[in-house]
Structure 1
């Protein structure tokens, strides 16, 4: 029962990643605004579409694959990516000082990390 619950949670991380990726690909300016970003011309839009789409699509695809295949190893890359994002936000907090705007995404990333760590511990290992 625990494994099923963890797979559902990890799958939800995957769906969230893919929805966010789709937003950056299809509705870039709106997606960027929700992250406090604004493009400076076509290069900025292209960079956000490419880089942020790639980040969130990778988290989404690998999390969904890990949940669907019951494979903990597939969660390592999403865990590293979200962990690095949280580290960058923490560095920003230290460099620029506290801001209420920084708290919600940091909490969200911490929750996603907790789910993925749980997935790494509970989901299956590939057979050699």
Structure 2
């Protein structure tokens, strides 16, 4: 079971890192798919820094947790994804449900479940 958990966490980490790379290389294209349109150089830099940084941090720590079999490293992606999901719930409360909002909520809920499963299944830090 631990190998499966590590595999899921590691796969999620790699996918998050790939998202970060795409945000760094093609921020306008990926931002547009998420409903974000950059305004000038500042908008492009913000997409690269904010979303690339979000996915990069989540991916690095998830991948490290899987490789090193250390659950404490999952606290970073759990926190990031949990806060993002809370923002989605706030949007639902303020603007109501619309079909485009469902997919990112489901993706973030599944990712959060994988990270929590990893936290429960991976080894404690020896530090």
Q: CA RMSD in A?
A: 0.7
**Aligned to 1:36, what secondary structure does the other structure show?**
coil
TM-score by length of 2: 0.98
Q: Cα deviations across residues 4-52 of structure 1 (Å, max 9, x unaligned)? A: 0000000011011101100100011111012111001111111111111
CA distance in 1, matches of 2:84, 2:74: 16
Match of 2:37 in 1: 38
Question: Within 5 Å, which residues of 2 pair with 1:14-29?
Answer: 14-29=13-28
CA distance in 1, matches of 2:20, 2:102: 22
Give the count of matched residue pairs: 127
Q: Which runs of 4+ in 1 moved over 4 A?
A: none
**Aligned to 1:38, what secondary structure does the other structure show?**
coil
Stretches of structure 1 lacking an aligned partner (at least 5 in a row): none
1:108 and 2:96 matched: no
TM-score by length of 1: 0.97
CA distance in 1, matches of 2:77, 2:126: 21
**Aligned to 2:103, what secondary structure does the other structure show?**
helix
**Cα offset, 1:97, TM superposition:** 1.1
CA distance in 2, matches of 1:16, 1:94: 29
Decide which moves more: 27-36 or 107-116. Answer: 27-36
